[in-house]
A and B are shown apart, each in its own frame.
Chain A
Amino acid sequence: MAPIAQQLNAQQVTAQQSTPSPVPPASAVSLTGLTRSFGARTVLDGIDLEFPPGQFVALLGHSGSGKSTLLRAVAGLDHDTVGTGELATPERVSVVFQDSRLLPWRRVLDNVLLGAPGREADGRDPAERARAALAEVGLAGRENAWPGELSGGEQQRAALARALVREPELLLADEPFGALDALTRIRMHTLLRELWQRHHPSVLLVTHDVDEAVALADRVLVLDHGRLAVDLGVDLPHPRVYRDPQLGEHRERLLAALGVRPDGGPAGAGPQED
């Protein structure tokens, strides 16, 4: 892990020049007293959460903590669950799942075009927009490939392009890199951060990877037994350096909140004993 982090640091210096574009007006995400239950089990227990437009929020939690339920509630995918509370989301929402969910019978370009806004939206050719989105995620030239011909990382890039072409005000991502290998995951982190800096949607990233959360997000939430246990602002400039002691502090705080002892963590803080 350590050598990879160093590699990342070296190339991150150059990315600092890209100036963040002015934040476009978008409605903020707002949850008030959100409750969801399956049978007798309450999975979300009165969640209150607001975040301003353009904020990158990571949601951490154990499996079964309700983090996917929260994301599905915000995505409007929980038709059959019982719940109360208020929920306000922007008009344009895109979702990226852990699996790419590319339709195997449509070529990559047609997958990106699936449900994309037509020409009447802004006068631009949808196919051109889809090509541009594919180029942006590094898949230029693969437009006519079948999804089955792409690697796992490429499939997830295509899924990002499909999310991107809809110009979302809110991007919901449910462990989008969980199924990828470690190297591919780091490249995808860089890609997602670049896309976010360029388009500045609000992001809700559900993950179980503390490093992923602190490397990418402005704000990290920890969900525990259906309640928000930690709400941590990560006010560090992008791109972030893995060795940054501040990042290490955040990481350890979050690991502690998740009930994990930071044994031999790569952070500069050194080994701790309690």
Chain B
Amino acid sequence: MADHVSSTAVVTAPERTVTRPAPGPVPESGPVRRATATGRPRTRRLSPGKRRPYARLLGPLLLLAVWAVASAAGLLDPRVLPAPWTVLHTGAHLWTTGTLRTDLGTSLWRAAQGFAIGLVAGVALALLAGLSRIGEALIDGTVQVNRAVPTLGLIPLFILWLGIGETFKIVIIAIVVYIPVYLNLHAALAGIDARYVELAETLRLSRWQFVRQVVIPGALPGFFVGLRLAVTGSWLSLVVLEQINATDGLGYMMFQAQNYGQTDVIVLGLLIYGVFGFASDSAVRLLERRVLTWRRSLSS
């Protein structure tokens, strides 16, 4: 029914108004449109264009190549920066005969535990603060104070409280993780579009339906921003913790290497941290793309 209106309007209008296009080339008088090979007008594309798969690896690989060439050409003193193959060889050697396997396992386990606790705490606190005024009054200011205190500055206190074992390390990582998770999720929850709140009210949603179907899905993009910061943060704090107060782990391995002047072991440790940081960040990105399929933006 409704279609009739526009279809008649669309069909009849051209017959009356539009003059028949002249066949053949456009007359040369007046401004002539430039012809393009693609048959499209020449507009400047302002978005960065289509993304190629694995393009993000290009930068790191290039860096690696420069490093390798410089080493091969003898431009780098091996005591300052050993060649990539030396580092790889050291890695293989430590993996089979040394402690690399246990160090790696310990570091991964610490990061995972701290990350899990921090994630749960950050999400729980953000939900409490973002969904109730009482929760916000109790939690938000407290977290802001916590955020202002450098977490690594808490290490001495935590060692006194919790001993120099695993617990304090995991607590420190958890704190480093929960803060970005909390901040971003809370901001996203608090910043829910007022228009959607009105909509939910007119649809007579229950509070629980509103939270589950409107607030939380709407806050997910913000949550993922926090999650990516948290993943990187967990690795960052691990380096510091294991270099100061550890008897095993990657950081400890590097710390020991510093004492013996083993540059190749230090670089190996850095490489492993880098690879894990990059891989975990990529994993979060992948998850984000899966969960937020509805999003279409420059990044899609």
Contact = CB atoms under 8 A, between A and B. Distances in A.
A183 B8 contact: no
A115 B9 contact: no
B47 to A, nearest CB: 16
Interface stretch (B104-112, B200-208, B236-244): B200-208
B195 A4 contact: no
Contact of A103 (B8, B9, B196, B198): B196
B201 A4 contact: no
B263 to A, nearest CB: 50
Contacts of A146: 294
A114 B203 contact: yes
Nearest to B193: A101
Contacts of A75: 202
B203 A115 contact: yes
Interface stretch (B170-178, B182-190, B210-218): B210-218
B296 interface: yes
A114 B274 CA distance: 45
A82 B191 CA distance: 25
A105 B294 contact: yes
Given A114-B205, A115-B205, A190 B195 contact: no
Given A8-B5, A99-B195, A190-B1, A148 B294 contact: yes
A57 B220 CA distance: 41
A105 B217 contact: yes
A215 interface: no
A11 B294 contact: no
A223 to B, nearest CB: 21
B13 interface: yes
A93 B8 contact: no
B66 interface: no
Contacts of B220: 105
Interface in B55-82: none
B216 to A, nearest CB: 10
Nearest to A115: B203
A15 interface: yes
Given A11-B8, A97-B195, A101-B195, A187 B3 contact: yes
Nearest to B210: A115
B279 interface: no
B19 interface: no
Contacts of A187: 2-3, 5-6
B200 to A, nearest CB: 7
Contacts of A194: 1-2
Interface in A153-189: 162, 166, 183-184, 186-188
Interface in B120-149: none
Given A103-B218, A105-B217, A138-B3, 20 more contacts: A4-B9, A7-B5, A7-B9, A10-B8, A75-B202, A76-B201, A95-B202, A97-B199, A103-B199, A104-B295, A105-B220, A114-B203, A115-B205, A115-B209, A148-B296, A183-B6, A183-B9, A186-B5, A190-B1, A194-B1
30 contacts: A3-B9, A3-B13, A7-B8, A7-B9, A7-B12, A76-B202, A77-B201, A93-B202, A95-B199, A99-B195, A101-B198, A101-B199, A103-B199, A103-B214, A103-B218, A104-B294, A105-B292, A106-B213, A106-B217, A114-B213, A115-B204, A138-B2, A146-B294, A166-B203, A183-B6, A186-B6, A190-B1, A190-B2, A191-B1, A194-B2
Interface of A: 3-4, 7-8, 10-11, 15, 75-77, 93-95, 97, 99, 101, 103-106, 114-115, 138, 146, 148, 162, 166, 183-184, 186-188, 190-191, 194
Interface of B: 1-6, 8-9, 12-13, 195-196, 198-205, 209, 213-214, 217-218, 220, 292, 294-296
